[in-house]
């Protein structure tokens, strides 16, 4: 390194992935102060407020479980007039309040004397040097042995995107069934893959989202029109109070970023624009929790390992090669047969036992789960897709 490092680790972005990683580093530092990693998190936000709703099937505890405000043991998928209700007591679908998540993460960092969160400071440039990284920011510049980069990146061209708008609404009459999440309600009207998602917090309070998988993002009025039509046709609603709005775009590349092929050994891209998100589902939160834990364990297991001698060193991929490959085949199928998406999702949720499917969707599948999923799908079409993927890989 041209300049001696100021930090062992710098994390660019104090969002969901960056704060999860910082939280685990702070906990490890507290447990092993002699081996602590001096860590800096750079985040342009001046302060945090609730900005997102993170849901996932909970299979293990995380340090942020206090931020879970709701959980459901039932969810449904509807297509072509049929509804399949699925159930799991062991793996409930949970909702994390992002405001509470940010509070928990900040608390752990505040009591740490080796992890610092600098708010109101964006990274502006980064240069990989011989054995470290120089980071320029709006405040002080610094050098780090290792950088985890969770900043948003421009969306790649010509790939499928999961894009959605959600309204958290309150009504004057009981309209929602709080026992069951509507996970995917395909209404069969759009040209692309389109479904609605309803998180019912109470009979009068829900988050209702319109979600598309397509390559083109429409104007905001289109989403608003879809939500109004759905609220009227599905729940008979003409009036409601909107408490909160959220919106997102999640890339669904066939070829997801591969940490092993990253440009610089000392710069590890993580988060929604790297390999953390599962591209076929758009779920990122549970994978970020698992990846951060494994990543920090790896850092503490071999803190002095030289990244130049071991190219894999200190970068823990979010999912196995098999899971990456299954995602690629599935996304390839959706790209080529968007008209069959509703039928395919309905088949999966109605033919595969709930626990097996949840493990599969969470990258925790056992071999028998993979077989159950494979046999639920139209074999001929998926074998052709698999062959195409092998040929183009």
CA distance 107 to 104: 5
CB of 137 to ligand FAD, least distance (A): 7
Q: Give the range of 57-65, 171-179, 246-254, 344-352 binding ligand FAD by CB under 6 A.
A: 246-254
Residue nearest to ligand FAD (CB): 15
Binders of ligand FAD among residues 137 to 196 (CB under 6 A) are 150-152
CB of 123 to ligand FAD, least distance (A): 4
By CB under 6 A, the count of residues binding ligand FAD is 30
Please tell me whether residue 227 binds ligand FAD under the rule CB under 6 A. no
Please tell me whether residue 346 binds ligand FAD under the rule CB under 6 A. no
- Per DSSP, which regions of 177-293 are E strands? 181-186, 193-202, 205-214, 241-252, 267-269
Question: Which of 6, 192, 228, 246 lies at the binding interface for ligand FAD (CB under 6 A)?
Answer: 246
Binders of ligand FAD among residues 248 to 307 (CB under 6 A) are 248, 250, 271-272, 283-285
Report the chain's terminal Cα–Cα distance, integer Å. Answer: 37
Please tell me whether residue 17 binds ligand FAD under the rule CB under 6 A. yes
Strand order in the sheet with 160-170: 82-87, 74-79, 181-186, 193-202, 205-214, 160-170, 241-252
Question: Which of 9, 26, 109, 123 lies at the binding interface for ligand FAD (CB under 6 A)?
Answer: 123
Q: How do 74-79 and 39-43 pair as beta strands?
A: unpaired
Quick note: the x/- pattern for ligand FAD over 39-78, rule CB under 6 A, is ---xxxx------xxxxx----------------------
Please tell me whether residue 240 binds ligand FAD under the rule CB under 6 A. no
Which residues contribute to the site for ligand FAD (CB under 6 A)?
12-18, 42-45, 52-56, 122-123, 150-152, 246-248, 250, 271-272, 283-285
């Amino acid at each position: 390194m041209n300049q001696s490092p100021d930090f062992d680790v710098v994390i660019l972005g104090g969002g969901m992935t960056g704060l999860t990683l910082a939280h685990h580093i702070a906990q490890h530092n507290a447990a092993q102060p002699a081996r602590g990693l001096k860590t800096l998190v750079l985040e342009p936000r001046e302060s945090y407020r609730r900005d997102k709703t993170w849901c996932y099937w909970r299979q293990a505890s995380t340090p942020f479980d206090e931020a879970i405000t709701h959980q459901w043991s039932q969810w449904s998928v509807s297509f072509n007039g049929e509804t399949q209700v699925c159930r799991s007591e062991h793996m409930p679908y949970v909702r994390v309040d992002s405001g509470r998540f940010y509070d928990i993460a900040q608390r752990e960092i505040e009591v740490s004397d080796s992890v610092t969160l600098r708010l109101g400071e964006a990274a502006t440039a980064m240069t990989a040097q011989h054995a470290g990284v120089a980071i320029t920011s709006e405040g002080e510049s610094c050098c780090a042995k290792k950088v985890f980069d969770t900043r948003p990146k421009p969306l790649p061209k010509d790939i499928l995107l999961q894009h959605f708008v959600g309204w958290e609404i309150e009504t004057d009459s009981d309209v929602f069934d709080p026992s069951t999440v509507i996970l995917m309600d395909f209404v069969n009207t759009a040209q692309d893959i389109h479904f609605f998602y309803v998180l019912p917090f109470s009979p009068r309070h829900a988050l209702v989202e319109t979600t598309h998988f397509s390559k083109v993002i429409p104007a905001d009025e289109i989403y608003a029109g879809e939500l109004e039509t759905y609220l009227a046709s599905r729940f008979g609603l003409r009036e409601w109070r909107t408490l909160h709005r959220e919106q997102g775009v999640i890339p669904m590349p066939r070829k997801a970023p591969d940490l092993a092929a990253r440009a610089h050994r000392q710069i590890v891209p993580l988060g929604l624009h790297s390999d953390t998100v599962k591209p076929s589902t758009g779920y990122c939160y549970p994978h970020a929790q698992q990846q951060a834990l494994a990543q920090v364990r790896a850092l503490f297991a071999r803190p002095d390992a030289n990244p130049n001698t071991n190219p894999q060193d200190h970068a823990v991929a979010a999912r196995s090669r098999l899971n990456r490959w299954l995602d690629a085949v599935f996304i390839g199928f959706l790209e080529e047969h968007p008209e069959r998406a509703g039928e395919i999702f309905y088949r999966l949720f109605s033919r595969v036992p709930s626990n097996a499917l949840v493990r599969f969707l969470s990258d925790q599948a056992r071999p028998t789960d993979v077989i159950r999923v494979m046999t639920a799908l139209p074999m001929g079409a998926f074998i052709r897709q698999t062959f195409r993927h092998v040929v183009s890989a």
